[in-house]
Chain A
Amino acid sequence: MTPVLGSVSLSLAAGFGILSIILLSLYIRSDDYRLFLAGRRMAIIVSVLVIIATLVLVKELITSNFDVDYVAHYTSIETPTVYKFTALWAGQSGSLLFWIFILSIYSLITIFQNRNRYHRMMPWVLCVILTVQLFFLILTNFITNPFEPTNADFIVANGLGLNPLLQNLTMAIHPPVLYLGFVGFTIPFAFTVAALLTNEKGSLWVRSIRRWSLVTWLALSSGIMLGGWWAYQELGWGGYWAWDPVENASFMPWLTGTAFLHSIIIQEKKNMLRVWNTILIMLTFALTIFGTFLTRSGVMSSVHSFTESSLGPIFLGFVAIIITVCAVLIFHGLPNLKSNKRIESLTSRESGFLFNNVVFVTMCFAVFWGTIFPVISEAVRGTKITVGPPFFNQVNVPIGLLLLMLTGVGPLLAWRRTSRSNFIKYFSIPIGLALIAAIVFLLSGFRGYVVISLMLSVFVVVAIVTEFKRGVQARMNRFGESSFVAFRTMVRKNRSRYGGYFVHLGIVLMFIGFTGQAFNLKKEFGLGINDREHLGNINFELKQLREEERPNHFAWISELLVTGKDGNNITTLRPEKRIYFHRDPNPDRRQPHSELDIYTTLKRDIYSVFSSIDTDNDIAFFQIMINPLVQFVWYGGYILVLGTLIALWPSKREKLLM
């Protein structure tokens, strides 16, 4: 009975959505405030209905109602309850419903936050949000309905279950966090469109969407990092990023979104770069929809994509409409958007932001180009070309290093213009130390990009630390505060600035981690009991190999003694080879799975995969990797999150405003 409630909620939501858009459009024409109130109430109803539908699906999943096709496909009686819940976003129709669910919550928050503000913009904001909701409602109502009954003329006793690879808590939270980020850009987009249409010139709304974008950006960044971390811990190829189309799909809006977060500051403070910001947020929004298209359409072969479906053309059509509408809006709004202020100097904070934006957008274009190149080449030349990680690495390393440099240069530049004397004062120490570091690295035998990357890392860290020091020193001299109090007060007084610097430090740590990849080692070998192999100056000896039958799988457990070159004991690694569904009479249905084991230190990870076993001769085959500095990527990630939280934490004044 209840699945019907879900379907009906979705249909009603679509109906109310259309009604709401009509009422709001009438209000915009007639200015009768009652129409606005009615339209807004309808918008609330749409969101509430979507939330009800989602809850219904969750209930069906948890109670294992296999009469619903989706439930039967992605869960089974044996699936642990937590994964029954996460199955909500494991499949196509569920994840689309989950998408509107998040958007609906965002919509309710937006309506509540701005219940007494922006009376001219709000009808447009709501219309934009409702249009996006409607698009996804059409998909879930007509194309891929999560409440579709099971197509079987018998009673389905049990479902198919969730892939064991996905039964992992990180994997369970990676998609929703990423979605929070993807969907969140709809709100700043809606405000930007509304500001364009109502010719809003104030900066208060800019402030509120900047905060909103920052929350969204935090979710997107965390989602991307969780995905990388999961891949590294679970998938066994030893890396965290493979330039897969779907990874790129999340990275592209991150790049434009990051650019937007920087240049919106200039709009807030100086009312400049308005055309540019409008373009950036529109681009970011279009890229989130395009990203969903890449994930859902099956156009690109990818580990992430679902099976091919009719969704592709519909999504592409929607992206085309978004881009066309945005282009028309910008063209019409251009005279009003143009600012009469100019960037005064090349060595100003403003132009620093502008250069960073250009670099971000270029990188986004490079990734976009590599991602769609196979499709273009097939269409133009008839040959399908696959673009691999070496292309993306080759293109993006120099661009990334340029960005790394700017994370240090930007904070040192003064607003309007950096005078020659200040330039020398602020830059000489960071540049000097960076050059000394470069010489040290060269003498230590490092070459190429590695030296440039490490040199720039030193430059940025020194630049940011001196910025902190200068601020603290100034307060200490002026107010006689202790260094700790001065530091705390300084950060509190300008959270977004110093939070941002923390994020920059996090990025530097990540780059150090990326640089470590240049020294990755990898080897595959087979070992009998007490056999020994080495990789680099580390020895691996197979001490033991045992079998164990566990509740839902069979496992071979190896014990690898890892020793250094002097025979000193480093650790014991216990990678496993597992067979899930090992009792299935059909061997082709049994699913092997390698449970890897990693020994982690700040300096390097020793990464072991039990790849296969020769049971006749008791030989186990391993893939061993030594990955230097990987931990820096994760630590950089933590600092990035911390910095963003510092920037987001509301000041007393903002608490009063909220």
Chain B
Amino acid sequence: MVPKNKVVITVTGIALIALFWIYWVSVNPMDEKAMVKFISVQEVLQSKNHERVRIGGIVADGSIILSSTNKLEVVFTLKEGDSFLPVEFIGTRPDLFKNGAEVIVEGLYQEGSFHADILQTKCASRYEGDLRDASFYNLDEIEI
């Protein structure tokens, strides 16, 4: 065989195997957390099959309740548009988690409540704030 072909065939072979591998992992991810559907709160409430999903929304004002026995346990209401969903989460909460925070949760919806095992917050609004809100730069609040 001409050597040039050998090299071309080997390179093409490697590339094809690699492409197939990428395709195969996309279709058969080993871990259920590898590829997760991102759906709306509305869709979660209507869904019947209990597959792992990811949803986003705002923590409804005043809805955060910390468990009295375990401070790692929290229950809050996630609000997206006009839909509300109770969420349970046990674990370390991100520092920016608070009323009104924009959050993303991932987990399973079962018996009227969303059991999340991932809770992420989006960046604080403070730093993209509106300059007109004078309290944002009230000098008294911070002493250096």
Once bound together, how far apart are the Cα atoms of A487 and B54, in whole Å?
Answer: 57
Which residues of the other chain, A, contact B126 by a CB distance below 8 angstroms?
160, 163, 589, 591
Once bound together, how far apart are the Cα atoms of A586 and B125, in whole Å?
Answer: 14
CB-defined interface of A592-630 with B at 8 Å, one 1/0 digit per residue? 111000000000000001011110000101010000000
Closest to B2 in A: A342
The bracket for how many chain A residues form the interface is: 35 or more
Which residues of the other chain, A, contact B6 by a CB distance below 8 angstroms?
346
Once bound together, how far apart are the Cα atoms of A399 and B140, in whole Å?
Answer: 56
Which of A74, A343, A366, A385 sits near B35, CB closer than 8 Å?
A385
Closest to A589 in B: B126
Once bound together, how far apart are the Cα atoms of A391 and B27, in whole Å?
Answer: 10
Complex contact B92–A611 (CB within 8 A): yes
Which of A157, A343, A592 sits near B95, CB closer than 8 Å?
A592
Determine whether B50 belongs to the interface, using a CB cutoff of 8 Å to chain A: no
Determine whether A31 belongs to the interface, using a CB cutoff of 8 Å to chain B: no
Complex contact A391–B143 (CB within 8 A): no
Complex contact B29–A390 (CB within 8 A): yes
Which residues of the other chain, A, contact B111 by a CB distance below 8 angstroms?
none
Once bound together, how far apart are the Cα atoms of A612 and B71, in whole Å?
Answer: 7
Once bound together, how far apart are the Cα atoms of A301 and B123, in whole Å?
Answer: 11
Determine whether A158 belongs to the interface, using a CB cutoff of 8 Å to chain B: yes
Once bound together, how far apart are the Cα atoms of A78 and B6, in whole Å?
Answer: 67
Complex contact B3–A78 (CB within 8 A): no
Once bound together, how far apart are the Cα atoms of A98 and B19, in whole Å?
Answer: 38
Once bound together, how far apart are the Cα atoms of A198 and B78, in whole Å?
Answer: 61
Closest to B36 in A: A386
> In angstroms, how far is the closest chain A Cβ from the Cβ of B12?
9
The bracket for how many chain B residues form the interface is: 35 or more
Once bound together, how far apart are the Cα atoms of A142 and B101, in whole Å?
Answer: 32
Please report which residues of chain A, range 299-357, place their CB below 8 angstroms from some CB of chain B when the two chains form the complex: 301, 303, 307, 342-346, 351, 354-355
Which of B30, B37, B127 sits near A160, CB closer than 8 Å?
B127
Which residues of the other chain, A, contact B129 by a CB distance below 8 angstroms?
160
Which residues of the other chain, B, contact A391 by a CB distance below 8 angstroms?
25-26, 29, 31, 34-35
Which of A584, A588, A591 sits near B99, CB closer than 8 Å?
A588
Determine whether B65 belongs to the interface, using a CB cutoff of 8 Å to chain A: no
Q: List the one stretch of A47-55, A148-156, A440-448, A466-474 in contact with chain B.
A: A148-156
Please report which residues of chain A, range 551-610, place their CB below 8 angstroms from some CB of chain B when the two chains form the complex: 551-552, 581, 583-589, 591-594, 609
Determine whether A359 belongs to the interface, using a CB cutoff of 8 Å to chain B: yes
CB-defined interface of A62-77 with B at 8 Å, one 1/0 digit per residue? 0000000100111011
Which residues of the other chain, B, contact A432 by a CB distance below 8 angstroms?
none
Most buried by B among A77, A369, A394: A394
Complex contact A526–B70 (CB within 8 A): yes
Complex contact A623–B92 (CB within 8 A): yes
Which of A390, A584, A613 sits near B34, CB closer than 8 Å?
A390
Determine whether B82 belongs to the interface, using a CB cutoff of 8 Å to chain A: no
Determine whether A362 belongs to the interface, using a CB cutoff of 8 Å to chain B: yes
Once bound together, how far apart are the Cα atoms of A581 and B92, in whole Å?
Answer: 22
Which of B4, B39, B137 sits near A343, CB closer than 8 Å?
B4
Which of A159, A369, A612 sits near B92, CB closer than 8 Å?
A612
CB-defined interface of B130-142 with A at 8 Å, one 1/0 digit per residue? 0110011101111
Complex contact B26–A373 (CB within 8 A): yes
Closest to A398 in B: B21
Which of A163, A389, A583 sits near B127, CB closer than 8 Å?
A163
Once bound together, how far apart are the Cα atoms of A37 and B36, in whole Å?
Answer: 58
Complex contact B25–A351 (CB within 8 A): no
Complex contact B124–A591 (CB within 8 A): yes
Once bound together, how far apart are the Cα atoms of A374 and B127, in whole Å?
Answer: 28
> In angstroms, how far is the closest chain B Cβ from the Cβ of A607?
12
Once bound together, how far apart are the Cα atoms of A587 and B57, in whole Å?
Answer: 21
Complex contact A163–B95 (CB within 8 A): no
Once bound together, how far apart are the Cα atoms of A580 and B32, in whole Å?
Answer: 37
Determine whether A387 belongs to the interface, using a CB cutoff of 8 Å to chain B: yes
Which of B36, B71, B122 sits near A614, CB closer than 8 Å?
B71
Complex contact A351–B22 (CB within 8 A): no
Which of A345, A609, A621 sits near B71, CB closer than 8 Å?
A621
Closest to B61 in A: A588
Which residues of the other chain, A, contact B18 by a CB distance below 8 angstroms?
358-359, 362, 365-366, 399
Please report which residues of chain A, range 151-184, place their CB below 8 angstroms from some CB of chain B when the two chains form the complex: 151-152, 156-163
> In angstroms, how far is the closest chain A Cβ from the Cβ of B32?
8
CB-defined interface of A404-443 with B at 8 Å, one 1/0 digit per residue? 0000000000000000000000000000000000000000
Closest to B143 in A: A551
Which residues of the other chain, B, contact A584 by a CB distance below 8 angstroms?
141
Assuming the contacts A390-B31, A623-B92, asked whether A157 and B139 have C-beta atoms less than 8 A apart, the reply is yes
Assuming the contacts A374-B38, A588-B99, asked whether A152 and B132 have C-beta atoms less than 8 A apart, the reply is yes
Once bound together, how far apart are the Cα atoms of A161 and B136, in whole Å?
Answer: 10
Which of A390, A588, A612 sits near B30, CB closer than 8 Å?
A390
Assuming the contacts A526-B71, A619-B71, A621-B72, asked whether A594 and B36 have C-beta atoms less than 8 A apart, the reply is no
Closest to A620 in B: B71
Complex contact A362–B131 (CB within 8 A): no
Assuming the contacts A342-B3, A383-B39, A583-B142, asked whether A151 and B91 have C-beta atoms less than 8 A apart, the reply is no
Complex contact A386–B35 (CB within 8 A): yes
Once bound together, how far apart are the Cα atoms of A246 and B94, in whole Å?
Answer: 20
> In angstroms, how far is the closest chain A Cβ from the Cβ of B33?
5
Complex contact B14–A359 (CB within 8 A): yes
Determine whether A119 belongs to the interface, using a CB cutoff of 8 Å to chain B: no
Which residues of the other chain, A, contact B22 by a CB distance below 8 angstroms?
362, 365-366, 369, 395
CB-defined interface of B95-128 with A at 8 Å, one 1/0 digit per residue? 1101110001000000000000000001110111
Determine whether A531 belongs to the interface, using a CB cutoff of 8 Å to chain B: no
Assuming the contacts A526-B72, A611-B93, A621-B71, asked whether A160 and B131 have C-beta atoms less than 8 A apart, the reply is yes
Which residues of the other chain, B, contact A613 by a CB distance below 8 angstroms?
71
Please report which residues of chain A, range 268-316, place their CB below 8 angstroms from some CB of chain B when the two chains form the complex: 301, 303, 307
Once bound together, how far apart are the Cα atoms of A342 and B8, in whole Å?
Answer: 11
Determine whether A533 belongs to the interface, using a CB cutoff of 8 Å to chain B: no
Most buried by A among B96, B131, B139, B141: B131
Chain A contacts to B: CB under 8 angstroms: 69, 72-74, 76-78, 150-152, 156-163, 301, 303, 307, 342-346, 351, 354-355, 358-359, 362, 365-366, 369, 373-374, 383-391, 394-395, 398-399, 524, 526, 551-552, 581, 583-589, 591-594, 609, 611-614, 619, 621, 623
6 A–B pairs (Cβ distance < 8 Å), ordered by A = A73-B128, A73-B131, A74-B127, A160-B129, A584-B141, A612-B92
Q: Which 10 A-B pairs have CB atoms at the shortest separation, nearest pair first?
A: A390-B31, A611-B92, A158-B137, A391-B34, A384-B38, A362-B18, A390-B34, A614-B71, A592-B95, A78-B144
